């Protein structure tokens, strides 16, 4: 009842912020029993204090294109919650970016970061700037202008951004360069940095690797492995390529990749050469999924459709929010899919989640399954503080352990009476309790 009131008040104060309200609703719904058992959390206003960001910075980002024309985009940083550590979360550059999307991402980030076992608070930022088709020089000028405002609220113990959609190593480089110039210090205020100036090995592929390790843990529960499994992956970016690489290494066959205009179906599955080609296409910054089907003749491009209609054993949505709807979920269930591991943030719509949960298949929400990215960001911060650099094996070993720990936390809090593991519920409760208890310890601030 109390939760219904809180949700109604949130809707009244944030009209039209669909993604934000969807994310908060999903978490609060799964917390009902936990809150009934811990009335002191509700009474101390922790929920209201957690669902509102600590602060939001909005600013204009003027920049000049290669023809001398001036453009103005909007920049944001949502500093959500720093109860267990400094604000931490990626920066997204995409025309769809708005406050609702960044608040949903920042809110999810609080729980994800808590699950990593590392001391990281939650935040998110970005701009409605579209990097597609822009020259290097235009990207650089945009990133520099973006940082002219943002740098004021960043710092290694304050707020540490990273990449997300449309932001990879190149953009982090330009933003960090400007940050360093303005602040006069070379510290680990960004993660996802280049290898030669503070970046960690494995960071670029960490989210996809982590989502695969998480799926591996879920499969183990059923006595299964990736060996011989057919896997659908969506997207074609940072997360998708790491997942494609690790699934292939573990003996799975990745048969799809996708972009906003459709998907590629490759019945032969990806291999090292094809993943290399995928990276080249990605670097070309163009319309990228379709050409894959020209290069590898057995592959076909299916326009305007989602890859979830293909018969697979495992699905890994790695593109964007709400990219897997009810019909897609029904197709997956009908075709005997046994496991979904979310590389992207909130890729399944609420209606899709209902269908998935009803089928009792293995289903990991993004805040658990894709936490490997921020976990290795945390490891990058540790290496920066210690002024040393770990080997690939050391980072990978830690990443695998963190994904196992997150899996165990989900099992501990999400196992139902009939033995089914409700991973979304487990992840929400484990992440929430850690942050809520820290907020209780620290008083009303
Ligand atoms: P990228 O920009 O590198 O890749 C996103 C990919 O998804 C691109 O191939 C893009 O195609 C495609 N895409 C975008 N919109 C759609 C759509 N509507 N339908 C199908 N495909 C689409 O982003 P990331 O890989 O970094 O991020 C992907 C997801 O993972 C996001 O939800 C992000 O928040 C989440 N995430 C990322 C982390 C990271 O470390 N990078 C960490 C944790 C979560 P195109 O380029 O043609 O638009």
- Gap from CA of 430 to ligand 1 centroid (Å): 26
Report if residue 381 sits inside a domain: no
Assess whether 224 and 174 both reside in one domain: no
Considering the domain architecture, whether residues 171 and 89 belong to the same structural domain is answered as yes
Which of 337, 364, 391 represents a domain boundary (last residue)? Answer: 364
Cβ-Cβ contacts under 8 Å for 366 (sequence gap 6 or more) = 108, 112, 342, 343, 344, 345, 346, 347
Dihedral sign for Cα atoms in the order 274, 371, 325, 11: negative
Last residue of a domain, one of 141, 158, 186: 186
Beta-carbon count within 10 A of 96 CB: 13
> Who wins on pLDDT, 392 or 1?
392
Q: Would 435 be classed as within a structural domain?
A: no
- Report the nearest atom of ligand 1 relative to the CA of 319: 7
Domain end: 340, 364, 388, which one?
A: 364
Any domain includes 260:
yes
Quote the pLDDT of residue 432: 98
Rounded CA separation 361/339 (Å) = 6
Whole-Å CA distances, 141 to 70, 71, 136, 189, 194 = 11, 11, 9, 20, 19
Asked whether 319 lines ligand 1 (CB < 6 A), one says: yes
The structure's pTM equals 0.96
Tell me the mean pLDDT in the region 358-364.
Answer: 98
How do beta strands 253-259 and 339-341 pair?
Answer: unpaired
Same domain, 116 and 165: yes
Ligand 1 pocket member 178 (CB < 6 A): no
Mean pLDDT of the 35-62 span: 97
Residues 85, 22, single domain; the answer is yes
* Per-residue model confidence as pLDDT tens digits over 136-153: 999 999 999 999 999 999
CA distance 94 to 75: 11
Task: Assess whether the C-beta atom of 235 lies below 6 angstroms from ligand 1.
Answer: yes
Q: Are residues 142 and 237 in the same domain?
A: no
Sign of CA dihedral 206, 100, 32, 42: positive
User: Is residue 175 in a domain?
Assistant: yes
Residue 13: pLDDT above 90? yes
- Res. 284 pLDDT band, cuts 50 70 90: confident
Does position 330 have pLDDT exceeding 60, yes or no? yes
Q: How many Å is the Cα radius of gyration of the chain?
A: 21
172 & 307 share domain:
no
Total structural domains in the chain? 2
**319 is in which domain, residue-wise?**
206-364
Residue 1 banded pLDDT, cuts 50, 70, 90 = low
For residues 164 and 213, state if they share a domain: no
Question: Is residue 423 in some structural domain?
Answer: no
Q: Return the minimum-mean-pLDDT range out of 37-51, 113-127, 280-294, 384-398.
A: 280-294
Q: How far, in Å, CA of 401 to CA of 224, rounded?
A: 19
Give the residues across from 71 on adjacent strands.
63
CA of residue 239 to ligand 1 center, whole Å:
7
**pLDDT band (50, 70, 90) for residue 203:** very high
Alpha helices in 116-155 (DSSP H): 136-150
Q: What's the average model confidence in pLDDT over 355-368?
A: 98
Task: Find the 307 Cα to ligand 1 centroid distance in Å.
Answer: 15
Percent of the chain's residues with pLDDT above 70: 99
pLDDT at 285 over 80: no
The two structure tokens encoding residue 25: 């609703």
Q: Are 155 and 217 within one domain?
A: no
Average pLDDT over residues 302-306: 96
* Cβ 343 under 6 angstroms from ligand 1: yes
Ligand 1 atom having least distance to the Cα of 287 = 47
Whether 62 is in a domain gets the answer yes
Q: Is 125 in the pocket of ligand 1 (CB under 6 A)?
A: no
Average pLDDT for residues 300-325, to the nearest whole number?
A: 97
CATH number at residue 273: 3.40.50.720
Residues 46 and 141 occupy one common structural domain: yes
- Residue 284 has φ and ψ, to the nearest 5°, of -75, -10
The verdict on 140 and 289 lying in the same domain is: no
Q: How confident is the model at residue 281 (pLDDT cuts 50, 70, 90)?
A: confident
Asked if residue 163 has its Cβ within 6 Å of ligand 1, the reply is yes
pLDDT higher for 51 or 287?
51
Rounded mean pLDDT, 242-270: 97
User: Would you give the DSSP letter of residue 348?
Assistant: B
Residue 429 within a domain: no
Number of H helices and E strands in the chain, helices first, is: 18, 12
Residues 6+ apart with CB under 8 A from 275: 241, 244, 245, 248
Confidence (pLDDT) at 287: 60
| pLDDT for the residue numbered 278 | 86
Catalytic residues: 124
CATH of the domain at 181: 3.40.50.10860
Read off the tokens for 192.
């996802």
Residue nearest to atom 35 of ligand 1 (CA): 344
Above pLDDT 90, what percent of the chain?
95
Query: Is a pLDDT exceeding 80 seen at residue 376?
Result: yes
Q: Is 169 left (phi over 0), alpha (psi -120 to 50) or beta?
A: alpha
Write down the residue that tokens 């540490």 correspond to.
160
| Average pLDDT over all residues of the chain | 96
Predicted local confidence at residue 279, as pLDDT? 87
162 and 78 in a single domain? The answer is yes
Query: Are 9 and 139 in a shared domain?
Result: yes
Residue 418: inside a domain, yes or no?
no
């Amino acid at each position: 009842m109390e939760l219904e009131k809180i949700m109604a008040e949130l809707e009244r104060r944030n009209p039209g912020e669909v993604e934000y309200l969807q994310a908060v609703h999903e978490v609060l719904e799964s917390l009902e029993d936990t809150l009934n058992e811990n009335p002191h959390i509700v009474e101390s206003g922790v929920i209201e204090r957690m669902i509102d960001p600590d602060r939001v910075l909005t600013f204009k980002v003027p920049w000049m294109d290669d023809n001398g024309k001036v453009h103005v985009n909007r920049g944001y940083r949502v500093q959500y919650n720093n109860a267990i550590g400094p604000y931490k979360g990626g920066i997204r550059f995409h025309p769809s970016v708005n406050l609702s999307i960044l608040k949903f991402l920042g809110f999810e980030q609080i729980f994800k970061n808590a699950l990593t076992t590392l001391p990281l608070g939650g935040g998110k930022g970005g701009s409605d700037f579209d990097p597609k088709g822009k020259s290097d020089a235009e990207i650089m000028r945009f990133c520099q202008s973006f940082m002219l405002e943002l740098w004021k609220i960043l710092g290694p113990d304050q707020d540490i951004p990273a990449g997300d959609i449309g932001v990879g190593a190149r953009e982090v480089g330009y933003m960090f360069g400007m940050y360093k110039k303005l602040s006069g210090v070379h510290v680990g205020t960004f993660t996802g940095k280049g290898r030669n100036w503070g970046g960690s090995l494995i960071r670029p592929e960490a989210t996809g690797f982590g989502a695969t390790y998480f799926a591996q843990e879920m499969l183990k529960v059923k006595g299964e492995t990736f060996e011989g499994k057919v896997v659908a992956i969506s997207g074609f970016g940072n997360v998708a390529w790491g997942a494609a690489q690790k699934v292939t290494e573990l003996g799975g066959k990745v048969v799809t990749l996708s972009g906003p205009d459709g998907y590629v179906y490759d019945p032969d599955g990806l291999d090292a050469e094809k993943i290399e080609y995928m990276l080249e296409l990605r670097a070309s910054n163009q319309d990228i999924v379709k050409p894959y089907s020209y290069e590898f003749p057995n592959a076909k491009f299916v326009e305007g459709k989602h890859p979830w209609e293909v018969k697979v054993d495992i699905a890994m949505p790695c593109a964007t929010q709400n990219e897997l709807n009810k019909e897609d979920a029904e197709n997956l269930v009908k075709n005997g899919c046994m496991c979904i591991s979310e590389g992207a943030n909130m890729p399944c719509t609420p209606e899709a989640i209902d269908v998935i949960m009803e089928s009792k298949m293995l289903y990991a929400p993004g805040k658990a399954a894709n936490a490997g990215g921020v976990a290795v960001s945390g490891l990058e911060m540790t290496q920066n503080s210690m002024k040393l650099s770990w080997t690939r094996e050391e980072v990978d070993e830690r990443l695998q352990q963190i994904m196992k720990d997150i899996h165990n936390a989900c099992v501990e809090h999400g196992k139902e009476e009939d033995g089914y593991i409700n991973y979304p519920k487990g992840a929400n409760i484990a992440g929430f309790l850690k942050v809520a208890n820290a907020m209780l310890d620290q008083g009303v601030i």
